Amino acid sequence: MTKRALITGITGQDGAYLAELLLAKGYEVHGIKRRSSLFNTGRIDHLYRDPHEEDLQFRLHYGDLTDATNLLRILQEVQPDEIYNLAAQSHVQVSFETPEYTANSDGLGTLRLLEAIRILGLEKRTRFYQASTSELFGKVREIPQKETTPFYPRSPYAAAKIYAYWITVNYREAYGIYGCNGILFNHESPLRGETFVTRKITRAAARIALGLQEKTYLGNLDAKRDWGHAGDYVEAMWLMLQQEEPDDFVIATGETHTVREFAEKAFAAAGIALSWSGEGLDEKGRDARSGRILVEIDGRYFRPTEVEILLGDPTKAKEKLGWERKVSFDELVDEMVRSDLDLFRRDLACKKAGFDATPAIEDRC
Ligand code: NDP
Ligand code: GDR
């Protein structure tokens, strides 16, 4: 029997990798996309099939996690074997500006899906994956962080996600729903959104190396993150839903690096050696050869409350799921920089031919 999966947030980074993985495993994949005034399916357009074709393995439905009746209708129509709830307002800094919306989509959105499973009597049929996050650990009280480490959210995003975490646990215990929390640490890829720090840096390194941009502005260079590759992490999501019993798992690499270190590696991959001078808001990253300033600090990228260090212990995932990351930190940075160099080489070719391909958006990141 072909298994049917429903992915919320299918147009995002993880949604795109997971859709590819499930299609390769023979699943019928359904995704929820939001209506937007511009196309928002760039990451999954290569998977799109003409809806007039027979035996479609990939279908998109309009929907939104803030709309309960819409979710009920989609679940009733699709009758999924597995739901992967990846949809979220996923930007930590933006959550300080849109706290109520973030609570609605990231917190209550999860409740709406779980209630829809219950209302439709799908408790025994539908397995549920919740995209939980290392941001739950927030103000860290144990290093490395594992499944038993206490939570201490440090943003409206993390506060919303902690509700989603516990409501998933509660529906598992109260109604016997097969629900799992993947407590995933940061994971990146060439598909990462442009305003997250890794992609912002790899884009800037590529554009500066190609002469398309002068410099970039960053916030807290001392923050430490446990960065893995999204392709590896969606495998873990799938594995969690294939076990005999539902459970919650930390997914991480077991390594941590500062933002400064990520920037050094990314610029090096683009052929530029960075050297640092100054402190705090006056710190600058320069081209070690020419002395030209390439990185400056801008106070607006600092958060009202920061998560200083994340370092995960993925032992449980290794022992129970047989999961291990495959892509190293250096390979991840190299792949992202190579991809952005390719992207902007095309822009450069357009520019040389007299066309301005992509307007500079760096000041909006
Ligand atoms: P992205 O920001 O790339 O994707 C988020 C997805 O959610 C997009 O498809 C977006 O649609 C959709 N979305 C946002 N709001 C709504 C809404 N109200 N209704 C329906 N869809 C909505 O995130 P990632 O792919 O990086 O992350 C996937 C999930 O995992 C998120 O829940 C995130 O919080 C969580 N997570 C991510 C980690 C990471 O490092 N990437 C680590 C731990 C957890 P649109 O394209 O239209 O904007
Ligand atoms: P994060 O990712 O908040 O960890 O959330 P992000 O890449 O936004 O920030 C990582 C760290 O870098 C510091 N930083 C900057 N961040 C951004 N965005 N822009 C900057 O210019 C900048 N300069 C320094 C931040 O302060 C922070 O310490 C991501 C998201 O994918 C969440 O959805 C997910 O839950 C967590 O990872 C795990």
Q: What count of Cα atoms within 13 Å lies in the side-chain half-sphere of residue 243?
A: 20
Would you give the end-to-end CA distance of the chain in angstroms?
45
Output the six-digit token pair for 287. Answer: 């081209």
Q: What percent of the chain clears pLDDT 90, i.e. is strictly above it?
A: 92
User: Which position among 8, 110, 133, 149 bears the catalytic label?
Assistant: 133
The predicted-structure confidence for 202-232, as pLDDT tens digits, reads as follows 999 999 999 999 999 999 999 999 999 999 9
Q: Is 157 an annotated catalytic residue? A: yes
Write down the pLDDT at residue 62. Answer: 98
Q: Is 133 an annotated catalytic residue? A: yes
Provide the residue type at 141 as one letter.
Answer: R
Q: Are strands 274-277 and 28-33 parallel, antiparallel or unpaired?
A: unpaired
The predicted-structure confidence for 245-298, as pLDDT tens digits, reads as follows 999 999 999 999 999 999 999 999 999 999 999 999 999 999 999 999 999 999
- Give the span between the Cα atoms of 109 and 111, in whole angstroms: 5
Of 169, 187, 6, 8, nearest in space to 88 by CA: 8
Mutate to test the pocket of ligand 2, among 133, 197, 227 (most ligand atoms within 8 A of CB): 197
Around ligand 1, the residues with Cβ closer than 6 Å are 8-9, 11-15, 32, 34, 36, 40, 64-66, 86-90, 105, 131, 133, 184, 186-187, 193
**Residue 149 · residue 141 · CB < 8 Å:** yes
- Give the span between the Cα atoms of 253 and 228, in whole angstroms: 6
Say what the ipTM of the complex is.
0.99
Mutate to test the pocket of ligand 2, among 92, 184, 200, 307 (most ligand atoms within 8 A of CB): 92
Of 299, 292, 301, nearest in space to 215 by CA: 292
- Give the span between the Cα atoms of 198 and 227, in whole angstroms: 9
Regions of the chain with pLDDT less than 50:
none
Write down the pLDDT at residue 365. Answer: 55
Q: Is 301 an annotated catalytic residue? A: no
Write down the pLDDT at residue 361. Answer: 59
**Residue 173 · residue 349 · CB < 8 Å:** no
Of 223, 337, 221, 226, nearest in space to 276 by CA: 221
Q: Is 196 in the pocket of ligand 2 (CB under 6 A)?
A: yes
Q: Is the dihedral angle over the CA atoms 2, 7, 10, 13 positive or is it negative?
A: negative
What letter would DSSP give residue 114?
A: H
Give bridge partners of residue 84 from the DSSP assignment. Answer: 7, 129
Cα-based distances in Å from 191 to 56, 127, 137, 144: 25, 27, 25, 27
At 187, give phi and psi (nearest 5°).
-135, 140
Q: Closest-lying ligand to the alpha carbon of 295?
A: 2
User: Which position among 135, 188, 235, 264 bears the catalytic label?
Assistant: 135
Secondary structure of residue 244 in the 3-state scheme: coil
User: Which atom of ligand 2 lies nearest, measured to the CA of 134?
Assistant: 38
Q: What percent of the chain clears pLDDT 70, i.e. is strictly above it?
A: 98
Count the neighbouring beta carbons within 10 Å of the beta carbon of residue 268: 16
Write down the pLDDT at residue 275. Answer: 97
- Give the span between the Cα atoms of 191 and 193, in whole angstroms: 6
Of 205, 207, 193, nearest in space to 358 by CA: 207
Write down the pLDDT at residue 360. Answer: 58
Write down the pLDDT at residue 357. Answer: 62
Write down the pLDDT at residue 1. Answer: 87
Provide the Cα torsion 30, 34, 38, 39; round to 10°.
-10
